[in-house]
Amino acid sequence: MPVSLAYWMVLIAGVYLAVGLVFALPFLIRWVRRVDPAAEGGTLGFRILIIPGTVLLWPLLAERLIRGITVPPEERNAHRLAARRAAPR
């Protein structure tokens, strides 16, 4: 791999993480309760624990904020699909 390509990859990763860290600070202080109402009473320890996920997943969380989505999406897997088919109507 050329050194210049490695340089750009590290630079892009650094910028992504820096933007994520800048996003994480106000998100953890104010916006977390808008995205997930269950996090309303989150303690300081909880907020510290979710910092790495917030930094890495900031584009998804920003999209949820912009769209105003306040509930987590329902998981769609084989178990849930089978339960729906078996449920009486």
Torsion angles phi and psi, residue 2, rounded to 5: -65, 150
pLDDT at 58 over 80: yes
Q: How many domains does the chain have?
A: 1
pLDDT at 57 over 90: yes
**Rounded CA separation 69/67 (Å):** 6
Which segment, 28-32, 34-38, 58-62, is predicted with the most confidence on average? Answer: 58-62
6 or 72, greater pLDDT: 6
pLDDT at residue 26 in the model: 94
Torsion angles phi and psi, residue 61, rounded to 5: -70, -40
Task: Tell me which residue range forms the domain holding 43.
Answer: 3-86
pLDDT at 55 over 90: yes
Q: Cα–Cα distances in Å, from 38 out to 26, 34, 48, 64, 84? A: 18, 10, 16, 15, 26
pLDDT at residue 76 in the model: 83
